[in-house]
Structure 1
Amino acid sequence: MTEQNMAASLKGRNFLTLLDFSTGEIKYLLDQAAKLKKAQKEGEGPLLLKGKSLGMIFENASTRTRVSFEVGMTQLGGHALFLSPRDLQIGRGEPIMDTAQVLSRYVDAIMIRTNSHETVEELAKYSTVPVINALTDYYHPCQALADMQTIYEQKGTFEGLKLTYIGDGNNVAHSLVIACAKLGIDVSVATPVGYEMNQSIISRAKEVAVSTGSTIVETNAPVEAITDADIVYTDVWASMGFEAEQVNREKAFSNFQVNGELVKHAKPDYMFLHCLPAHRGEEVTTDVIDSKHSFIYDEAENRLHAQKAVLAALV
């Protein structure tokens, strides 16, 4: 498919999960992200969304998501509106159906960061403009796209790579596994017993992996997972919404800390990633996250460029 045809196929689509996109479409978005990043660095960022507006619905607090989407729209020549539950009638019980149809008359796309993936699906069902999932309980596709961009920048390929994720089988883990499956990266996930990934989601990722040659391994043994890894990834043990489980999770995850001893089992040139915010001394030690192997700030920056690619493609 030509670049022009690829662009046409993406226009007007929703961005809810990477499962909805082909390998070719994901590679196209990554290519566009790289081009937009280069152009911005050279002071030649194209105003692709001049006169366009993005409505940003936030049910949860955010640093990277809010700033990257808002700045991204500005760099593309558009405008972003921050909308908290206090600003919307959703917070007082207005149906998602009404909110979706009204906002669609005002803005050119809707980004939402919310607790329930069902909320995003309902919003997309009734919206007549593209809806972008900026995080739900099941998926975090924008983060995974930025992760893939960072990996390609450092490794120059996706072929022959192994990514290891150690920690909670959460939304970040789900989207990482899907992205790896789509791009042919082998992925190994180590979680404590009782904190595994959602099996219906991972089953779909495994179906994708069959066609791309990716392998997906699930284990409860961190050393087994990290052996010969090219990329090591972790996330906080108690994600947003699970703060009340902090003490119990600290006990369950005590053997799943990414530290200097564990990364000895990875390849010597491994790269470390973390979606942030990070709790140093908890899920990862400072000698790993602040080492030469860490690319967490490149990864955070790439949220901006990857999301600009998504916005430009959909809108």
Structure 2
Amino acid sequence: MISFLSEVIGIRDDMYLGAGNAFMSEVGEALDLGKEEGVLNQRPALVNLQCDMDHPTQTMADFLHLTHHFASSDGNSSIDNLRGKKIAMTWAYSPSYGKPLSVPQGVIALMTRFGMEVSLAYPEGYELIPEIMETAGTFAEESGGSFNVCNSMDEAFQNADIVYPKSWAPYKVMEQRTELLRNQDTQGLKELEKRCLEQNAEHKDWECTEQNMKLTKDSEALYMHCLPADISSISCDQGEVSAGVFEKYRTDTYVEAGYKPFIIAAMILANRFENPVETLEYLMRRNDKRIHI
């Protein structure tokens, strides 16, 4: 019934590793079939609001934020301005576990397409899905950028233009968690959480602080986060980022978040019109005023 009454379907399914993205693909195929067989009058757009593999609305909002932040002196926000910029996508400590892999995976898979130098850092054992890491390496090679992996936040921060410290659960842990969720094993989930929190606690030094920000380019790298961040002494005793660093970049992170609705709107527009650029130019030429009732 949703497909009969809707022009757009948004799905967020990041809980089950190996299932969320597959489910979205199945929904898309069902919509295609319904349209082809004349059951549906229209084929609704399907927007991935986050899955186990990727978080495209977030990472494209991040990318749009970067194009504006690194715009040239004449205001040109061309994506070419990002070529050669270094972004450090790093794990960071959190007092919670089970955070999805989709944001770091989306970041490394998108930024490597545009000639950026992408440095992925995490403690040993906190790997991402191997296929996505391989894809990021391929994109970097094709775009003339670079992709490297290390086990040191400080190393990743060295001379970085952008830092993105964000906690996530280890890939292997998410596999175990998925199996436990499917089996409705409540006790198993509690035991897994206990082990993971103990493992996280071994890496409390993985925090974005004023000290390691000094390692970045001119000590002024752009701090990014998908929000909400675990802010030390604010939202938790110790977390992903110090209160001082977050406060310095608080407005920047809000601006970053503000691009997401425009990304979703662009996805919808691209689905509805054969030539979305031409459609936008037409609307701009009309210059219709908004009507307030």
TM-score, scaled relative to structure 2: 0.67
The yes-or-no answer on 1:112 pairing with 2:11 is yes
SS in 2 for 1:261: helix
How many residue pairs align between the two structures?
Answer: 214
Match of 2:214 among 254, 264, 269: 264
The alpha-carbon deviation at position 289 of structure 1 amounts to 1.1
5 Å-filtered alignment, 1:120-269, equals 120-128=24-32, 129-156=44-71, 157-167=81-91, 170-237=101-168, 244=193, 247-268=197-218, 269=220
Match of 2:225 among 260, 266, 274: 274
For 1:194 and 1:179, locate their aligned partners in 2 and report how far apart those are by CA, in whole Å.
23
Question: Using a 3 Å threshold, how does the CA distance of structure 1 residues 131 and 252 change in structure 2: closer, same or farther?
Answer: farther
Q: Is the 1:117–1:137 Cα contact (8 Å) retained in structure 2?
A: yes
| CA deviations over 1:188-209 (Å, ceiling 9, x no partner) | 0111111111111121222122
- Provide the aligned C-alpha RMSD in A: 2.4
**What is aligned with 1:288?**
245
**What is aligned with 2:291?**
none
**What is aligned with 1:94?**
none
For 2:151 and 2:61, locate their aligned partners in 1 and report how far apart those are by CA, in whole Å.
27
The alpha-carbon deviation at position 309 of structure 1 amounts to 1.4
For 1:261 and 1:276, locate their aligned partners in 2 and report how far apart those are by CA, in whole Å.
22
Question: Using a 3 Å threshold, how does the CA distance of structure 1 residues 253 and 141 change in structure 2: closer, same or farther?
Answer: farther
Between the two proteins, what is the percent identity of the paired residues? 25
Q: Is the 1:117–1:136 Cα contact (8 Å) retained in structure 2?
A: yes
SS in 2 for 1:258: coil
For 1:135 and 1:150, locate their aligned partners in 2 and report how far apart those are by CA, in whole Å.
19
For 1:294 and 1:247, locate their aligned partners in 2 and report how far apart those are by CA, in whole Å.
31
Structure 2: 5+ residue runs without aligned partners? 15-19, 33-43, 72-80, 93-99, 178-188, 233-238, 273-293
**2:48 partner letter:** N
Higher Cα Rg: structure 1 or 2?
A: 2
